[in-house]
Amino acid sequence: MQPVVEVSGLRFRYDDGTAALQGVDFHLFPGETVALFGANGSGKTTFVLHLNGVLTGEGRVVVCGMPVTKENLTEIRRRVGIVFQEADEQLFMPTVLDDVSFGPLNLGIEPAAAVERAKSALGDVGMLHALDKAPYHLSAGEKRRVALAGVLAMNPEILILDEPTTSLDPPGRRDLARLLGRLPQAKIIVTHDAWLARRLAVRSVFFEGGRIMGDGATDELLKRFDWECDAAEAMPARLD
Ligand SMILES: Nc1ncnc2c1ncn2[C@@H]1O[C@H](COP(=O)(O)OP(=O)(O)OP(=O)(O)O)[C@@H](O)[C@H]1O
Ligand SMILES: [Mg+2]
């Protein structure tokens, strides 16, 4: 089986000289869900931004059989849906419905069908009640839900979510896990949420200093890199 994402020797340096990626090799197979974890600043967001050409570094990045180059960008962005870490970067239309319909309309889908797709995606994330609201008036968790709907409405082949459970309430977190579990697409989920990684991803990769330092079974990696808060350790000391 051919991977849907193949990355080798990827290096990237930001303008201020930060070497954010220092030789990353990665693959993702059709239908597979992989969790990406690692410390703040280890390069996870920088990495996923290379998969739809928001950033371009040195090395090889091939998505759905196409190298990520300027010529392929339109096609690649149709197939790779990224829900960004900052939901505000994704929401820009006057109403929630406009925002979520924007992607399908842009794909050339006729308006009535685009609105249907948008409504269905908003239903999936529990935001149908907010169709006419201004996105910038939504709460943080609501913004994340709408940003996810915007990507789902495009029906991408590969779904990338950068910290999808941030700001979600516990039922929202559970609903998101159920929803993602039902979707057939290949998925990359960047997350500090060990519960979510365990629930959705059989395989995980661990980033450290712009490199992948571990690639294997989620359970095994969470243990190896000591990546969970033990409930007893997390309890504050009693004052009495
Ligand atoms: N626009 C930028 N200019 C300069 N340096 C940047 C920029 N964006 C990120 N960096 C740096 O690149 C490194 C990797 O950042 P990145 O955002 O990829 O980390 P991350 O693993 O996603 O972290 P987090 O878990 O906090 O989201 C960090 O050292 C960060 O400070
Ligand atoms: Mg990040």
* Residue owning the nearest CA to atom 29 of ligand 1: 41
Query: Is the residue at 163 inside a domain?
Result: yes
Do the Cβ atoms of 184 and 30 come closer than 8 Å? no
Which neighbouring-strand residues pair with 205? 36, 215
- Alpha-carbon distance of 7 to 14, in angstroms, equals 19
If we measure between CA atoms, which residue out of 11, 52, 150, 139 comes closest to residue 92? 150
- The enclosing domain of 187 has a CATH number of 3.40.50.300
* Residue 77 neighbours by CB distance under 10 Å: 20
The 3-class SS string of 62-106 reads EECCEECCHHHHHHHHHHEEEECCCHHHCCCCCCHHHHHHHHHHH
Query: Measuring CA to CA, how many Å separate 192 from each of 35, 64, 158?
Result: 9, 27, 21
Q: Using the mean position of ligand 1's atoms as its centre, give its distance from the Cα of residue 208 in Å.
A: 12
Residues with a CB atom less than 6 Å from ligand 1: 14, 16, 18, 20, 38, 40-46, 85, 207
Query: Measuring CA to CA, how many Å separate 193 from each of 51, 102, 153, 173, 207?
Result: 22, 30, 25, 10, 15
pLDDT at site 239? 66
Q: Using the mean position of ligand 2's atoms as its centre, give its distance from the Cα of residue 19 in Å.
A: 15
Do the Cβ atoms of 75 and 27 come closer than 8 Å? no
Query: Is the residue at 117 inside a domain?
Result: no
- The model's pTM: 0.93
Query: Is the residue at 202 inside a domain?
Result: yes
Q: Using the mean position of ligand 2's atoms as its centre, give its distance from the Cα of residue 109 in Å.
A: 32
Residues of the domain holding 161: 5-86+156-232
Query: Is the residue at 128 inside a domain?
Result: no
Query: Is the residue at 160 inside a domain?
Result: yes
Query: Is the residue at 143 inside a domain?
Result: no
Number of domains comprising the chain: 1
Q: Using the mean position of ligand 1's atoms as its centre, give its distance from the Cα of residue 30 in Å.
A: 28
* Residue owning the nearest CA to atom 19 of ligand 1: 41
CA dihedral 102, 103, 108, 112 (to 10 degrees): -50
Q: Taken in order 28, 34, 40, 42, is the CA torsion positive or negative? A: negative
Which amino acid makes up residue 214? G
pLDDT at site 67? 97
If we measure between CA atoms, which residue out of 4, 1, 7 comes closest to residue 207? 7
Tens-binned pLDDT, residue by residue, of the chain (240 aa): 899 999 999 999 999 999 999 999 999 999 999 999 999 999 999 999 999 999 999 999 999 999 999 999 999 999 999 999 887 777 889 999 999 999 999 989 999 999 999 999 999 999 999 999 999 999 988 998 999 999 999 999 999 999 999 888 999 899 899 989 989 999 999 999 999 999 999 999 999 999 999 999 999 999 999 988 766 666 666 666
Task: Please give the number of the atom of ligand 1 that sits closest to the Cα of 207.
Answer: 21
